[in-house]
Amino acid sequence: MIDRETVDRIYAAANIVDIVGEYVTLKRKGVNYQACCPFHNEKTPSFVVSPSKGVYKCFGCGKGGNAVTFLMEHENITYPEALKMVAKRYGIEVKEKEMSEEEVRRNDDRESMFALNGWAAEYFANYLHRETEGQSVGLAYFRQKRGMTDATIKKFGLGFCPAKGDRMSKDALAAGYKKEFLVSTGLSLARESDGSLYDRFRDRVIFPVHNISGRIVAFGGRTLRTDKQVAKYQNSPESEIYSKKRELYGLYFAKKAIQQQDFAIMVEGYTDVISMHQAGVENVVSSSGTSLTTEQIRLLNRFTKNITVIYDGDSAGIHASLRGIDMILKEGMNVRVVLLPEPEDPDSFARSHTAAEVQEYIRANEQDFLEFKAKLLLKDAQGDPIRKASLIADMVQSVSQIPDPIQRSVYIKECARIMDIDEQILISEVARKRMTTSGDRETDEFLRRQTTLRQREAPQQPEVEFVKQVEAGSSFEALEREIVKYLLKYGHCSFDFKEGRTMVACNVAEVIFAELSDDNIEFRNPVYAKIMNVYREQWTQLGTGTEVPAHVFLNHIDPEVCNMSVDILTADDNYVLSELWQRKEIHVDSDAEMLAVGVPKAVTLYKSKVIEALIKELQAKLADELSDDEQKDIMQRLAAYNQAKKTIANKIGRPIL
């Protein structure tokens, strides 16, 4: 356990904009920052970070929390692990109580795998630099064959695995790492004959694969042999900490440059990325030889909407790679393509040119995906009408992937010009394609746009959205949330309550606690109950009418309390008062008037709900075999509850407690 004092220091130091900004591209909007949510796929930003409150909230999927809970959610780690990540970032020493044996046993296997990968990366790097074999084979390859500097080799953590088949595995076991984790990470393989271990990456140069936060999740190993029977690359298998479809090689090193330049360059392999970085072009990533996946595209989408794909000058796989362009378009991103001069690839081109020359070549030669694809396919279809018809169908397939109707319309017009075909034919073909593949209908979009246009042109009627309040029949969950909302947002506020002919000033927190305490009512939802107890403790210490600071809940040691508090405090349930209403001098309830209705109503409905539950419980008992005295007692209690229920029912329509 981390002591409370250290937790408080971590929360005090944590800058949520810096931490969240490591994972998504934040853009300032007023006093807050906005981005597309990293937890669900969206085209329009609904993810908001408030630096003043120290919280984030997605109004699309509903996730919210502080800097620590963001790391928990994003990195899939525990609360203590997230605290340590933040502490490490700000140089805070973490003091922990001694863990129990049970806590040690329950230590996450994922952390053991991360630890082993960290050790292995250091082992491979040390072997490369300090062992004769590593220097003469691996280091010579990186320096002489690939032209890499020592600084670049160190930056990417490159290494070498011994040629002796089981040396790394034996050294790992000797260092105290368990066989099960050597196998589960894929660093070692087990022989079927006797279960002994041997090294997956033996006699290969090593490329560690970092996740977005810099932790090593996998390795790639390249053989330097010319034997065609030996696979050129060996990669770590899927594991608890590694999914190849969710990782992009080099993103950890490239994300800041991608954000700054607002576009990412996509290449094919490890050395392409490394050489481009060494040349000074750092906004470069690779899918590491695997086919581009939707998850990888969405990962990039957190940092930029713009991707430039670089193809080798003599690449035979360009046609096959075009599928990746369609996938990028489908995610609402912009794609440009650069074709290098033959026989160059990004690795060789970067090594023979300066950063300025590489960047200038990209600027001068990048083409819009439509232009690139048309030129490429028209070359094959020259003079063949059947092939040209097939090409048009291929172009329609790509354009139909674009989700934005305006952008899609622009591309249809451009495609009609390039292909010398009637625009209306392309419009109908794209509509048909979208209808069959995604259920989307161009006609529906057209009608929606026309309806919106008519609504904009019609005379505007004044509208106001009032506070959403609970009604009779609401669930325990809804009623408890409503009461907690009044506490967190308005607990320190007062309102005038009419008792007979007299107006009595009431405090929100005082009314809620008095009403619930008098009847010994405890909330059913444990998180709401905890928030109530925390508020009551603070309220008792600070005194009636004093505002309980929001950070007490937003930075609470219990992540569930924190997340629920963020959700409630950032919920857009307040009324909106337009300037139109003000100009027309139409009365809208003030906070005090709203509270005078809402607070008593929420508490009264909740007490009614509790009574209903008690009545059902007693009615169920009547079905059991009971003595006359027990039956009489239950009937008397039922009568009392029903009378109370009737009294409450008479009050629900007006603000009387």
Find the helix packing angle between 369-381 and 318-330, rounded to 10°: 140
Q: Over 60: is that where the pLDDT of 30 sits?
A: yes
- Model confidence over 243-277: pLDDT tens digits? 888 899 999 999 889 988 889 999 988 999 999 99
Q: What is the Rg, in whole angstroms, of the alpha carbon atoms belonging to the chain?
A: 32
**Phi and psi of 51, rounded to 5°?**
-65, -30
Strands 64-66 and 197-199, by their bridges, are: unpaired
What's the pLDDT score for residue 418?
Answer: 80
Torsion, Cα 439 442 446 447, to 10 degrees, reads: -40
How far apart are alpha carbons 486 and 481 in whole angstroms? 9
Residue with tokens 């950063």: 355
What's the pLDDT score for residue 458?
Answer: 46
High-pLDDT (> 90) share of the chain, %: 28
- Model confidence over 333-344: pLDDT tens digits? 889 989 888 888
> The dihedral of CA 75, 79, 81, 84: what is its sign?
positive
Check: CB of residue 200 under 8 Å from CB of residue 188.
Answer: yes
Collapse the DSSP code of 254 into the 3-class scheme (helix H, G, I; strand E, B; otherwise coil) and give the result.
helix
What's the pLDDT score for residue 470?
Answer: 56
Highest mean pLDDT among 343-352, 446-455, 622-631: 343-352
pLDDT band at residue 589 under the 50/70/90 scheme: low
Contacts of 279 (CB under 8 A, 6+ apart): 350, 351, 353, 354, 355, 358
The overall pTM is greater than 0.85: no
Strands 264-267 and 233-235, by their bridges, are: unpaired
Identify each DSSP E strand in 117-214 by its residue range.
159-161, 188-190, 197-199, 204-210
Give strand pairing partners of 323. none
pLDDT band at residue 590 under the 50/70/90 scheme: low
Contacts of 538 (CB under 8 A, 6+ apart): 548, 552
Whole-number mean pLDDT of the chain?
Answer: 82
Check: CB of residue 47 under 8 Å from CB of residue 35.
Answer: yes
What's the pLDDT score for residue 578?
Answer: 37
Of 245, 242, 240, 246, nearest to 110 by C-alpha is 240
**pLDDT (mean) for 345-373:** 89
Of 324, 317, 310, 319, nearest to 361 by C-alpha is 310
What's the pLDDT score for residue 574?
Answer: 40
How far apart are alpha carbons 338 and 369 in whole angstroms? 9
How far apart are alpha carbons 68 and 223 in whole angstroms? 41
How far apart are alpha carbons 151 and 72 in whole angstroms? 33
Check: CB of residue 148 under 8 Å from CB of residue 142.
Answer: yes
Residue with tokens 């509790």: 610
Can you say how many angstroms the Cα of residue 367 is from the centroid of all Cα atoms in its chain? 31
Q: Over 90: is that where the pLDDT of 156 sits?
A: yes
What's the pLDDT score for residue 566?
Answer: 84
Q: Over 60: is that where the pLDDT of 547 sits?
A: yes
**pLDDT (mean) for 160-174:** 95
With 0-12 / 13-18 / 19 or more C-beta atoms within 10 angstroms meaning exposed / middle / buried, residue 462 is exposed
pLDDT band at residue 172 under the 50/70/90 scheme: very high
Give strand pairing partners of 48. 34, 57
- Model confidence over 406-432: pLDDT tens digits? 888 888 888 888 878 888 888 878 877
What's the pLDDT score for residue 371?
Answer: 81
How far apart are alpha carbons 410 and 440 in whole angstroms? 18
Q: What is 119-145 written as a DSSP string? A: HHHHHHHHHHHHSHHIIIIIIHIIIII
How far apart are alpha carbons 442 and 448 in whole angstroms? 10
Residue 600: asked if its preceding bond is cis (omega within 30°), the reply is no
**Residue 593 tokens, joined:** 């008037």
- Model confidence over 601-652: pLDDT tens digits? 888 888 888 888 888 888 887 777 777 787 788 888 888 777 777 776 666 5
Collapse the DSSP code of 90 into the 3-class scheme (helix H, G, I; strand E, B; otherwise coil) and give the result.
coil
Check: CB of residue 285 under 8 Å from CB of residue 7.
Answer: no
Candidate from 51-65, 459-473, 634-648 with smallest mean pLDDT: 459-473
With 0-12 / 13-18 / 19 or more C-beta atoms within 10 angstroms meaning exposed / middle / buried, residue 365 is middle
Of 503, 586, 500, 514, nearest to 544 by C-alpha is 514
**Residue 53 tokens, joined:** 């409150």
Of 76, 54, 75, nearest to 65 by C-alpha is 54
What's the pLDDT score for residue 459?
Answer: 44
How far apart are alpha carbons 494 and 477 in whole angstroms? 25
- Model confidence over 282-316: pLDDT tens digits? 999 998 766 788 889 888 888 888 999 998 766 55
What's the pLDDT score for residue 307?
Answer: 93
Domains, the chain, in order of start with CATH, read 4-105 (3.90.580.10), 110-242 (3.90.980.10), 371-457 (no CATH), 476-652 (no CATH)
